Amino acid sequence: MNYVICHYSEIGLKGKNRNLFEERLVFNIESVLPDEFFEWVKRPEGRVVVKLTDEAEKSEVEDGLRKVFGLAYFSFAKKTESDLEKIKKETVGLLSKKSFSPRSFRVTTKRSDKSFPHDSPEVSKKIGAAVVENFNWEVDLENFDLNVHLEITDEGSYIYFKKIRGYGGLPVYSSGKAMLLLSGGIDSPVAGFKMMKRGLGLDYVHFHAYPLLSDDSIKKCEKIFEVLKNYSPEGKLFLIPFGELQKKIKLEIPEKFRIIFYRRAMLEIAAEIAQSRSAFGLVTGESLGQVSSQTLPNMRATEQAADLPVLRPLVGENKEEIVSVAKEIGTYEISILPDQDCCTLFNPRRPETKANLEEVLELDKNLDVENLKEKAIKNKRVLT
Ligand code: ATP
Ligand code: MG
C-alpha cells in the first residue's frame, strides 16, 4: 500500500482555474509531508496520487493529509497493472493479509481509462466472484462490512479498502491571502481555520500591551500560530506593541467609545501590514452579539477604519459550535490559558453597544495617533 490516492470534491471557480487549483493542491501536499516520506506527487486525470517511500510513517502521512484543505478523502492504495488477472491476484493477496474477516463485502470500481476492455460493473462482478471463491464472504451492495475499491486509470490500477475523510474546501492560497487578527482567545483561531478551508493563505497579527501587561498573550499566540501552521506552513506572525496607543486613546476618547477606537487602530494597522504582504483582506473572530463590541453598529463603526474587507466567518455561529471546532483543531486548550488581553487595559465599565458612525468619525478627526501607529508598526516583531 505505498500509494495514496487523493480525491477532491470542489474546484475553486472551475474552468481555467482547475489547473491552478490542482497545482496548488499538489504543492500543499508536498509541503505537509516530510521529503523522505514520498517519491513524487502527480495529478493524473481528476485525482492526485502520492508515491510513498518505504520510510513513510503511515500515521504521520494520514495526520498531514487530513490537514490539507481541498481533499475530500484519500486512501492508502496498492498499485498494479491495469490487467484483470493481475487486479484479481493483488486483491485476493491483499485481502488474505487482512486481520479481520468481514461478514459481507462489495466491490466498487471506477474506470477512468476508457480503453480498458471491461466496464466498471463487469470488473466489480469478476473481482467479487474471485473474492467469494477465495474467502466465501457474502456480497451485499447495501450493508457491507468491507468495500473493495478499484480505480482503473491509464497509468495503472489502484486497490484500496478505506476512505479517510478530509475537510474538503479549497487548497490554501488558491483564494489568495489575508491577515488574521489573532487575539489569543478561542474565536480568532477558529475564524482562521475556516478561512483557510476556503482557500485563503494567512498571515497573523497580534496586538499586545507588553511590557505594561505580561507577555502571556504573546506566548499563547505563538503556540496557536504553530498549530495553525500545520494547515499552511507559509505565513508570518506579526507582534505589535499596542500599549502606547491604548494610553493615548484612553486620554483622548470618551470611555464608552474606547473599545471601538482600540479596534479601529488594530484594523488600520493590520490593513497596512496586510497590504505590504499582498494580502487583500482581514479576518476576525467576531460573532454577532457575543459581546458588546460585536453589535452591527459597532462592527460598522470599527470596520470603516480599515482599507480592506473585514471577513468574519464566525458571525453566524454559536459559541458551542466555535468551541467544538477549537477543540477539534487543538487550539482550545491554548486559548483558555489565562492571559492579560490588551483590551482589558483601561477597559470601559459600560461600553457603547450602538456606536453612531458620525459621532465616531467626529472623535476620530481630533485624534492624532498617526505617529504612534507608525511607531507600533516599526517596533513589530515578526515570527516565521
Ligand atoms: P477571541 O476569542 O478571538 O479573542 P472575542 O470573542 O474575545 O474573540 P473580542 O475580544 O471582541 O472577541 O475580539 C474580536 C476580534 O477582534 C477577535 O476575534 C480578534 O480577531 C480581534 N482581536 C481582539 N483583540 C485582539 C488582539 N489583541 N490582537 C489581535 N486581534 C484582536
Ligand atoms: Mg478575546
Q: What is the pLDDT of residues 24-76, one digit of tens each?
A: 999 999 999 999 999 999 998 789 999 999 999 999 999 999 999 999 999 99
Contacts of residue 264, defined as CB under 8 A and 6 or more positions apart, other chains included, come to: 301, 302, 304, 305, 360, 364
In this prediction, what percent of the chain has a pLDDT beyond 70?
98
> Are the CB atoms for 246 and 348 separated by under 8 Å?
no
Grade residue 342 by pLDDT with cuts at 50, 70 and 90: low
Q: Which atom of ligand 1 is nearest to the CA of 180?
A: 20
**What is the CATH T-level fold of the domain 3-165, as seen in this structure?**
VC0802-like (3.30.2130)
Q: Taking a C-beta distance cutoff of 8 angstroms, is the pair 202, 208 a contact? A: no
CA of 340 to the centre of ligand 2 (A): 10
pLDDT tier, 199 (very low <50, low <70, confident <90, very high otherwise): very high
Instruction: Name the residue with the closest Cα to ligand 1, atom 8.
Output: 187
Give the pLDDT confidence score for residue 382 in this predicted structure. 96
- In angstroms, rounded to a whole number, what is the distance separating the alpha carbons of residues 303 and 321? 25
Q: Over range 104-115, report the average pLDDT.
A: 94
Looking at the CA of residue 186, tell me the nearest atom of ligand 1: 2
CA dist list (Å): 310 to 156, 174, 205, 224, 302: 47, 19, 14, 21, 10
The protein residue with its alpha carbon nearest to ligand 1, atom 18, reads: 285
DSSP per position, 262-291:
HHHHHHHHHHHHHHHTT---EE----TTSS
CB atoms within 10 A of CB 119: 12
Whether residue 141 is predicted with pLDDT greater than 90 in this model: the reply is yes
For 181, the enclosing helix (H) or strand (E) is strand 177-181
pLDDT at 348 over 80: no
User: Are the C-beta atoms of 39 and 75 separated by less than 8 Å?
Assistant: no
Parts of the chain belonging to CATH 3.40.50.620: 177-383
Question: What's the CA-to-centroid distance between 234 and ligand 2, angstroms?
Answer: 25
Q: Do the Cβ atoms of 342 and 242 come closer than 8 Å? A: yes
Residue found by looking up cell 517519491 in the block: 39
Radius of gyration of the chain (CA): 26
pLDDT at 61: 97
Residues flanking ligand 1, CB < 6 Å: 181-183, 185-188, 205-207, 266, 284-286, 290-291, 293-294, 342-343
What average pLDDT is seen over the chain? 93
Q: What is the distance, to the nearest Å, from the Cα of residue 349 to the centroid of all Cα atoms in its chain?
A: 37
Q: Note if the bond before 211 is cis, omega within 30 degrees.
A: yes
Q: How confident is the model at residue 345 (pLDDT cuts 50, 70, 90)?
A: low
Burial class (CB in 10 A: 0-12, 13-18, 19+), 172: buried
The pick from 179, 180, 181 for probing ligand 1's pocket by mutation, whose C-beta has the most ligand atoms within 8 angstroms, reads 181
Tell me which DSSP letter residue 149 carries: E
pTM over 0.85: yes
Q: Does residue 295 have a pLDDT over 70?
A: yes
Give me the half-sphere count of Cα atoms (radius 13 Å) on the Cβ side of residue 6.
Answer: 30
Instruction: Please name which ligand lies nearest the alpha carbon of 262.
Output: 1
Query: What whole-number distance in Å separates Cα of residue 6 and Cα of residue 72?
Result: 8
DSSP type of residue 246: H
Q: Which atom of ligand 1 is nearest to the CA of 294?
A: 11
Q: Which atom of ligand 1 is nearest to the CA of 293?
A: 11
Which ligand 1 atom sits nearest the alpha carbon of residue 335?
Answer: 2
Q: How far is the CA of 343 from the centre of ligand 1 (A)?
A: 9
Architecture of domain 177-383: 3-Layer(aba) Sandwich (3.40)
Q: Which of 180, 181, 182, 183 to mutate to test the pocket of ligand 1 (most atoms within 8 A of CB)?
A: 183
Torsion of CA 249, 250, 252, 256, to 10 degrees: 100
Numbered ranges of CATH 3.30.2130.30 in the chain: 3-165
